Structure formats: structure tokens, C-alpha cells
Amino acid sequence: MNFFKRIFKSEPKLEPLDLSVLKTDLHSHLIPGIDDGSKSLEESIALLKRFQELGYSKVITTPHVMSDFYRNTPEIILSGLAEVKSAIEKEGLEIEIEAAAEYYLDDYFEDLIAKNNLLTFGDNYILFELSFQNPPTRIKEVIFSLITGGYKPILAHVERYPFYFNEWDTLEDLRNRGTNFQLNINSLSGQYGPQVKKMGQDLINRNWIEVIGSDCHHMRHLDSINELRTNAHLHKISKKTELLNKFI
């Protein structure tokens, strides 16, 4: 069976998963107006209502921090978080929200590590991402800096980087250095392409995913997650006892 036949063959459909088992969504862009996610407070509240309807009890939202586009600071992010929390209270929503960040691996990120000026969540976890075009040249050094600084790094949407497709030795080395892996739930739908979908499935089958997230920027992402509740691989990862979503 060739590659594309494996990707597009019909998958078993299970009963819709009760997403409350996940408890917390990690990785979203819900603070209005500071990155490419929510555009308004009204949109943020609509998205949080949908998270609640899907069964989530908590969201840890993670605005982009990157020197070229979104030079967000802890002050900017936490100020926006306070605004969203106030709106949640007024709306009477029963969902908790915290904020950290999605740091882009660049010189600015390394400066922030050196200055110990980072937003973390849970047990000092920190989410970071890479360029989709070019493999990182300093990822080992950055991981070392994070670990020695007392942080626990999580690599965002590991399945989406083309230079890591089927590079299992490289990925295993990152794990051995102390990196946790986060998977976007919607990668399992194929919306990012068949190779990303296959990588997501393989990472779940290898038990190499520590946390899953919506990477929610807009309502279509949550609609897609709702449709994925019958997906066999989502069911499989949701049963992982050590999945960080259940504890953060």
C-alpha cells in the first residue's frame, strides 16, 4: 500500500469522545488584538463559550512572542488576560483561563531566557515553536539553557515541521534532552496536509506526545475538533494517563 493510500484510507470511527476527560486546553490565541488569534473581546468570549460546550474546564492561552511580528511582553499578555477574565465573570462562564506564551525560537527568545523574563504554566513549563521553513540551528543550546534555568520545555505542534518528518532519531534526541512534545488536535483531521496527519498519528502510536492542544485562532478550529471526537487516534491519546492536559 503506497503512502497516499495509507493516509486517505478510511479510519475507524468511534463514539464521540467526551472532551471533558482532557480538562485543560493548552495552546491557543484568545487574548484579543495582540497576535493573529482573536480579533475582539466578543470573539474571545464566543470561543471560550465553545470550549466550555466541548467539555473543557480550563484554557491556558498562549499568545505569540516573536521579535519580528509579535513582541508581546508579560505585561501586555497579563493585561489582556485580566480583561478576558473580567468578561468571563460578567458572562457567568464556568471556565478558567490562564495565560503563558508561545515563544518563537529566535535571538529575542534567547535574550528572554537569559533575563529570566518568561511566562510559564503548571510546573514551570514553557511552550516554544520553530520556523516551518528552516531547521533550527541552536535548538540544542536553547533546550540546555531552558533546562539549566529550571524550565520544562514543550515544543509546539512538533508534527508540523517538514524537516522533522520521519526523523525519529533527531526527535528522540530532543526528547532525551528533556523536551516534551505538543500535538495540535486538528493535525489529525488532515487540514495541515497528509504528511502532518501521518506524523501526528505516528507520534501518538510511539507514545511521544505529552500534551495536546487546539492551537485555536478562530471558531473553525473548534468546529473541526468537535468533528474529530470520533477519531481513533484522539481517543487513544486521550486515554494516556500521564497526559499533561489532565494535570495543568
Domains (range + CATH), the chain: 17-246 (3.20.20.140)
User: Does residue 6 have a pLDDT over 60?
Assistant: no
Residue 169's φ and ψ, nearest 5 degrees, are -65, -40
Q: What is the mean pLDDT of residues 220-244?
A: 98
Supply the pLDDT for residue 13. 81
User: Does residue 3 have a pLDDT over 70?
Assistant: no
- Residue 141 cell numbers, joined: 543550546
Q: What distance in Å separates the CA atoms of residue 88 and residue 71, rounded to the nearest whole number?
A: 26
The number of angstroms, rounded, from the C-alpha of 25 to the middle of its chain's C-alpha atoms is 8
pTM more than 0.75: yes
Q: Cell numbers 490562564 correspond to what residue?
A: 98
Q: What distance in Å separates the CA atoms of residue 189 and residue 71, rounded to the nearest whole number?
A: 31
Supply the pLDDT for residue 2. 53
In tens, the pLDDT along 128-178 reads 999 999 999 999 999 999 999 999 999 999 999 999 999 999 999 999 999
User: Does residue 109 have a pLDDT over 50?
Assistant: yes
Supply the pLDDT for residue 4. 45
pLDDT band of residue 68 (cuts 50, 70, 90) is confident
pLDDT band of residue 1 (cuts 50, 70, 90) is very low
Q: How far apart are the first and last CA of the chain?
A: 41
Q: What is the mean pLDDT of residues 28-41?
A: 98
Q: Is 36 within 8 Å of 73 (Cβ atoms)? A: no
Q: What distance in Å separates the CA atoms of residue 170 and residue 151, rounded to the nearest whole number?
A: 21
User: Does residue 86 have a pLDDT over 80?
Assistant: yes
Q: What distance in Å separates the CA atoms of residue 218 and residue 93, rounded to the nearest whole number?
A: 19
Q: What is the mean pLDDT of residues 62-72?
A: 95
Q: What is the mean pLDDT of residues 231-235?
A: 98
